[in-house]
Structure 1
């Protein structure tokens, strides 16, 4: 028996063609037309890079600085003698 989907999700599926690759502009425009949810929504992006990762000149590495950080503030507890403690 197939799993039931919500009306909002079903409506969003009708707007997308399965298997079609969208440009960044088209995808952003399409996302704006999706029905809104009652919670903070997030999206996942997959890029088709058409590179060979076995070739060193085609490696892609990098980091992204998020506008509000990547999570909670890190707290560290250290057990040290009074003279060796540092802030």
Structure 2
């Protein structure tokens, strides 16, 4: 397969047999970037663990510094005395039976996450098949 000039130049600056530390590899990739836009980098890291053993499994989560760019729309089912607390916590939609009926009759699904207070679980249970 034939490669372009920029690829060939970047390839000459790397040592094929060398194993780079993560920080060094990222710095090298940034120095060799030729495009006029933010390039995507794919990293393969050998951790040296055997995932068949329970004590060596690697699991984790990452919090991105700037988020994913998508805002989460939260619907909270609660009694009227808790409306203000739910809105203060960041819920976009707060209600009770009115939203249950809207979901059942109109098929309204303009939310990403549903939270229900314990006293509303009996009402929300009717939406089990829909949600």
TM-score, shorter chain, exceeding 0.5: yes
Query: Which stretches of structure 1, 4 residues or more, deviate above 3 A after TM superposition?
Result: 71-74, 84-87
Distance 1:81 1:19, change over 3 A: same
How far does residue 29 in structure 1 lie from its aligned partner after superposition? 2.6
Which runs of 5 or more structure 2 residues have no equivalent in the other structure? 73-101, 112-131
* TM-score normalized with structure 2 length: 0.49
Alignment-derived partner of residue 21 in structure 1: 19
More strand by share: 2
Which runs of 5 or more structure 1 residues have no equivalent in the other structure? none
Of 28, 31, 50, the match for 1:30: 28
Count of residues in correspondence between the two structures: 81
Structure 1 distance, partners of 2:43, 2:108, is 45
Give matches, 1:5-84, under 5 Å. 5-66=3-64, 67-69=66-68, 80-81=104-105
How far does residue 60 in structure 1 lie from its aligned partner after superposition? 0.4
Contact 1:12 1:34 (C-alpha < 8 Å) held by counterparts: yes
More helix by share: 2
* TM-score normalized with structure 1 length: 0.70
Structure 1 distance, partners of 2:10, 2:71, is 36
Output the aligned Cα RMSD.
Answer: 3.1
How far does residue 61 in structure 1 lie from its aligned partner after superposition? 0.6
Which protein is bigger by CA-based radius of gyration?
2
